[in-house]
Amino acid sequence: MKIISSIAELRDHLRGQLRTAFVPTMGNLHEGHLSLMRLARKHGDPVVASIFVNRMQFGPNEDFDKYPRTFAADIEKLEKEGVYVLFAPTEKDIYPEPQEFRIQPPNDLGNTLEGEFRPGFFTGVTTIVMKLFSCVQPRVAVFGKKDYQQLMIVRNMARQFALPTEIIAAETWRADDGLALSSRNGYLSVAERAEAPALYRELNLVADAMRAGHLDVSLLEKHAVQRLAERGWKPDYVAIRKRIDLQPPTAGDLATREPLVVLAAAKLGTTRLIDNLEI
Helix/strand/coil percentages in the chain, nearest 5: 45, 20, 40
Q: How confident is the model at residue 265 (pLDDT cuts 50, 70, 90)?
A: very high
Q: Average pLDDT, whole number, for the chain?
A: 97
Radius of gyration of the chain (CA): 19
Signed CA dihedral, 143, 149, 150, 156: sign only = positive
Structure confidence by residue, pLDDT tens digits, 4-35: 999 999 999 999 999 999 999 999 999 999 99
Q: Is 13 a catalytic residue?
A: no
pLDDT, tens digit, 9 for 90 and up, residues 149-171: 999 999 999 999 999 999 999 99
pLDDT in tens, 72-104: 999 999 999 999 999 999 999 999 999 999 999
pLDDT at 262: 98
Determine contact, residues 83/49, Cβ cutoff 8 Å: yes
pLDDT at 209: 98
Give percent of the chain above pLDDT 70: 100
CA angle 123, 246, 180 (to 5 degrees): 80
When pLDDT is cut at 50, 70 and 90, the band that residue 218 belongs to is: very high
Give the model's pLDDT for residue 61.
85
From the candidates 33, 43, 214, 223, give the one annotated as an active-site residue. 33
- Is the pTM here over 0.85, yes or no? yes
199, 182 contact by CB (below 8 A): no
- Report the percentage of the chain scoring pLDDT > 90: 99
pLDDT for the residue numbered 206? 98
- Is the pLDDT at 259 greater than 90? The verdict is yes
What DSSP string runs through 170-230?
EPPPB-TTSPBP-GGGGG--HHHHHHTTHHHHHHHHHHHHHHTT---HHHHHHHHHHHHHH
Residue 149 CB contacts under 8 Å (≥ 6 apart), including other chains:
109, 113, 114, 115, 122, 246, 263
Q: Residue 6 has what pLDDT? A: 98
